[in-house]
Structures are given as C-alpha cells and as structure tokens.
Amino acid sequence: MATTENIITSALFFIGMLITLLMPLPIKEEYRLFIIAIIVISILYIELSKYNSLIEKQENKIEDLNKRFKTMEELNEIRLNIKELQKKVFKNV
C-alpha cells in the first residue's frame, strides 16, 4: 500500500504548507479556520473520488467474472445433460 502512504504524506504536507502560509495573513481566526477546513475537505474529496473510481472499476471486473462463471456453469450443465442423454440412447441400442 505504498500509494496510500504517499497520499497521506502528500495530504499532510499540503495541509501543513497551507496552514503556515495562512498564519501570517491578517485575517480573523474564524475565516482562517474556515479556509483551512475548505482546503482539507477539498483534498479529502479528491482523494476519495479516486478511490471511488477504483472501486467502481473493480466492481465492473467482478460483474464480468460473475457473468463468465454463470456461462461456464450453464455449459457444464449442458455437457452433463448430453452425457446423460448419450447413456440413455446407447443403452437402448
């Protein structure tokens, strides 16, 4: 999970950098906290949307695999039915 560690490290770096850049500005403390909160929320939204897209891709792959598995089960049932029919037909001959 090197990507998760990189994401956390970069997020903490940017948050720390933004806090140090906002401290010297002559803004009320409430506005400063609001700006920092907006920045943190936007970073979290971006990172979570990336994870969401990865999860959606994995779900699509799982759905494809389930479809393949179902078709393989159906083919296996057809094969077994053919074997049973062959046994019945060749018994009578």
| Domain residue limits at 81 | 2-92
pLDDT at residue 5, as a whole number: 65
| Interval 9-16 mean pLDDT | 76
Backbone angles phi, psi at 44, to 5 degrees: -65, -40
Residue 19 or 57, more confident: 57
pLDDT at residue 59, as a whole number: 94
Give me the number of domains the chain comprises.
1
Q: Would you say residue 87 has pLDDT above 90?
A: no
pTM above 0.75, yes or no: no
